[in-house]
Copies of this chain bind each other. A is one copy, B any other.
Amino acid sequence: MNFLSDTTAPAHPALIDAIAAANRDFAPSYGADPLTAKVEARLKAIFETDLKLVFAVSGTASNSLALSVLCPPHGAILCHDEAHIHRDERGAPEFFTGGGKLIPLKGDHAKIDLDELDRALGEIPEGFVHTSPVRALSLSNLSESGTAYAPGEVAERAGRLKGRPAFVHMDGARFANALVTLGCSPAELTWKAGIDTLCFGATKNGALGAEAVILFPSVMDRFEELQIRQKRAGHMAPKMRFMAAQFDAWLSDDLWLALAGTANARARALANGFASKEGAEVLHPVDGNEIFVRLSEPRAAQLREAGAQFYQWPDGSARFVTSWCTTETEISDALAAL
């Protein structure tokens, strides 16, 4: 009953098989291999558009690489106050952008409030030499509270940047989980809603370690710079085929959606169980594979005694994360403990 994080889960065996299969012969280094090309083709089909991509070994890396081609050192990035890029990446976006400024915004359930966004945009002028202008907006989908922005919510926020030389980034470390819940297409949740670049995470959903920075057509002219920055940051792995192999298997036969679907279903079941118990208040909509629940001391103790592992969150709640390999038994065992 490990609900600590989806990064503690093993990888899906199909991805390891794919790595073994990719190991048969020599292959060009640094992303010039055929598997990388195959993944690019798969992603174009899935997202129904032209696009460019690079791989990275962590979400921190992919977010920062993406932001570094959107925001100059003297620009600002709007994000939610609880965003991973602001709270959990040790200043990586500042490092990669060369000192770009993150401006944190409030909003319930870790989704940026529209009024807050309007207020911030109203306060930050364009073309005033003393002030860092807004060059990017970052939306996390799933958010840090496990909630999803629907396509309309994304479009509403992205639309607020109209008329500024600014771009919209989506931190999609758990993009698959959001997508499955929302039931929309990948295109609808991204470029059709105004997203310029997506950090598409596989690691938390069955990969060994593989993230993709996807540039949609609106920012594809920055691909060369993205590659340069990937190299310069040490993220252009020599044997890139092994990251490509993971993505190839993961995207094959909708495996990625199936894995996210399982994780989401487990989270939903656990949340439903909590909802029927006293002393276990679910704090946010459960739109993916994360549940934040305010547990009474006895409830928390019952769960721990039953062997459930979970993190205490800074706001006092308990965080439960399910993964592609969380079993129905684990959920029922956890709930039985209450």
Contact = CB atoms under 8 A, between A and B. Distances in A.
Nearest to A323: B26
5 contacts: A10-B24, A16-B19, A57-B235, A73-B91, A129-B236
A87 B131 contact: yes
A169 interface: no
A137 interface: no
Contacts of A4: 26
Contacts of A57: 57, 234-235, 237
Contacts of A140: none
A11 interface: yes
Given A11-B239, A58-B237, A231 B90 contact: yes
Interface in A7-41: 7-11, 13, 16, 19-20, 23-30
Interface stretch (A94-102, A148-156, A174-182): A94-102
Given A23-B11, A101-B102, A91 B232 contact: yes
B90 A228 contact: yes
A56 interface: yes
Contact of A208 (B8, B59, B74, B242): B242
A233 B20 contact: no
Contacts of A237: 57-58, 209
Interface in A207-242: 208-209, 227-229, 231-239, 242
A132 interface: yes
A203 B13 CA distance: 23
A203 to B, nearest CB: 6
B26 A95 contact: no
